[in-house]
Amino acid sequence: MRATILTLAAWLGMLLQALAAPPPTVTNAVDGIFDTFHTHPLVGLGEIHNWAQELDFYTVLLRDPRFAREVGNIVLEVGDAAQQETVDRYVNGESVPYTELRRVWSDNVGWFPTVTPVGSINLYPVIREVNLKLPPQGRIKAWLGEPPINWPEIKTKADWDPIEAKRDSYPTDLIIREILSKNKKALVIYGTDHFGILPGKDNIRALLDRTHPGAFFVVSPFVGYADERCGAQLGKFARRLAVPSLLTPVRGSSLEKDIYRQGCAAFIRPPGMAEAEYQARIKNDIGLNGDALLYLGPRNRMMQGPQDPDAYLDLDYRAELARRWELRLGKKPDLTSGDNLAPSDNPATTRSFWEH
C-alpha cells in the first residue's frame, strides 16, 4: 500500500512538472532582437523615459552593422514629423544650423516641457555617425513619429488638443504607409504606454494589431518593483542574468508566475486610480504585456541620464518652452527646479533613476 502511495505521489509530481509553464529562453538582448526581425517586420522597444541604461542600449543596436543591413529604419517618439526633411538632411551628413536641428526634438507635441534627455537627443548624431560610413543606399532612415505641429500657430490648449490626440494614430499610419506596405522593417521606440494592453487605450500596438496582426513584436523593459521585497520572487534566476538579456516568451512561460504577484508593482499607485486600472498598469509596467522582457540590470542600479542644458541656458528658448507648458497644463512651470528648466534639475553627479 505504501509503495502504491509513493508511486502515485511520484507520478503526480511528474505530471505537475510536465504541466508547469516552461522557463523562458534567455539570450543576449542585442542578438535576440536581431533574431526577432527574422520573423517580425516590427520590433517595438518600450521606453522608460530617461533611463540611462536603456538609452545607451539603443546606440548599441544602431552601431551594430546588422541594423543598417537588416533593419534600416527606426521610428522615434522623440521627433516632430514636421521636421522630417531636416532630420533627413542631418543624418545623411549635411550641415544643419543647430537652432534648426533642435526643432527636430524640441517641437514635440507630447513631452513636457519638451524632449530634454541627452540620451534621446544623441540618437540623431549616432545615426549620422553610422550613416557617414555607409553608402547612401544602405543608410539608416530615422522616421519622426510625433504628429506634425507648428508651435508659433498654437495659441491655446484647444489648438493643441486635436494634434495631441493623434499621438498614436499618426505613427501607426506612418508605419503602415512607409514600412509595412513597402515590405520593410523597423525598430519602433516609444514609451511603454504606447505598446501596453491598457483598458480603452487605442495605442500604436492596439491599432496595428487590428490591421496587421502578428506584425509587432513588443519588447518590454523590466524595471523591478516599488516594494523591494517583491524582488525576491525572481531569486537566483535574476541574479544569474547577464546584462543585457532578452527573455522570451513572456506569456505562457514561467515568467508570468515569477514576476506577477498581488501588490507587486513597478511604480507607486497614483492617488485615485481605480483598482481595475491599477491591475492593468501593474501588468504593463512590469512587462507582462510584452512578447519579451529586456533585462538591463537590477532596479537599484537604474540611473538617470543628463538633461539638455539648452532648456535653461538659452533664455529665449526657455521662455518658449514655458509658454507651451502653461498653454497645455494651465499653470506656469517652476523655473527654479522640478520642471527640467533650471540648472538644479541637471546636477553633474550621477543620480539614481528613482530620485525625485
Residue-wise pLDDT tens digits, 298-330? 999 999 999 999 999 999 999 999 999 999 999
Least confident of 57-71, 90-104, 187-201: 187-201
Report the distance separating Cα 286 and Cα 204, nearest Å.
Answer: 19
Average pLDDT estimate for 184-191: 98
What's the average model confidence in pLDDT over 251-268? 83
At residue 331, does pLDDT exceed 90?
yes
pLDDT tens, position by position, 226-235: 887 787 656 5
Domain ranges of the chain: 23-308
Least confident of 2-16, 157-171, 291-305, 328-342: 2-16
Q: Does residue 249 have a cis peptide bond before it, meaning omega lies within 30 degrees of 0? A: yes
What's the pLDDT at 17?
42
Fold of 23-308: Rossmann fold (3.40.50)
- Give yes or no for residue 236 having a pLDDT over 70: no
CA 119 vs CA 57, 90, 126, 207, 309: distances in Å? 10, 17, 10, 28, 13
What pTM, to 2 d.p., does this model score? Answer: 0.92
Mean pLDDT of the chain: 91
Whether residue 268 is predicted with pLDDT greater than 70 in this model: the reply is yes
